[in-house]
Amino acid sequence: MGSAYPRPHTTTNVFIINSTHKLINYLLQQFISKTFK
């Protein structure tokens, strides 16, 4: 991903995207565990 966006501020954007992705995955796991229990 870094090669596609060689700008300096990209690392911050990637970090934010990764954090948001992890948060969404966590919420999805919580929702699934509550739904199927």
pLDDT tens string 1-37: 455 555 666 788 889 999 999 999 999 999 999 988 7
Predicted pLDDT of residue 22: 96
Q: Are 17 and 25 in contact (CB under 8 A)?
A: no
Predicted pLDDT of residue 24: 97
Predicted pLDDT of residue 31: 94
**Sign, CA torsion 3/5/7/11:** negative
3-state helix, strand, coil in the chain (%, to 5): 70, 0, 30
